[in-house]
A = this chain, B = another copy of it.
């Protein structure tokens, strides 16, 4: 939709650092996945969509895509969301920007949003429950308020 995210480079560096830190070696397929995510990972992407995008210009087999996404999820570099259609979708996880999603049931559109009040409410709940959060998701479903049917 938009062009390359502004913090793409930042994330790329972070990814490199964490991968190296985990004792992993660089490889063509994983690099391709990571670059693809840095470019288009702003919205929810399925493994197959990524694999398809890569297949056109080089490396990145299905297996490698799945394996890479699992690693990146493990390292907290991408965020995984399991859809009602049984397909897992992935997004770049930025260190300090939590965002969530609204699914329009009429149009199928997905809107990402950020909300400090919501984040605060979640932090409050965690405190009340006496737990430490490592991640959280908020999924909203409904229709955008319009006058027509």
Contact = CB atoms under 8 A, between A and B. Distances in A.
A137 B81 CA distance: 12
23 contacts: A80-B84, A102-B129, A111-B129, A111-B131, A113-B129, A115-B128, A117-B121, A117-B124, A118-B121, A118-B122, A121-B122, A126-B140, A126-B142, A130-B144, A133-B140, A134-B141, A134-B142, A134-B143, A135-B142, A136-B138, A136-B140, A136-B141, A137-B139
A122 B141 contact: no
How many copies altogether? 2
Contacts of A139: 136-139
Interface residues of A, number: 38
A133 B142 CA distance: 4
Nearest to A114: B125
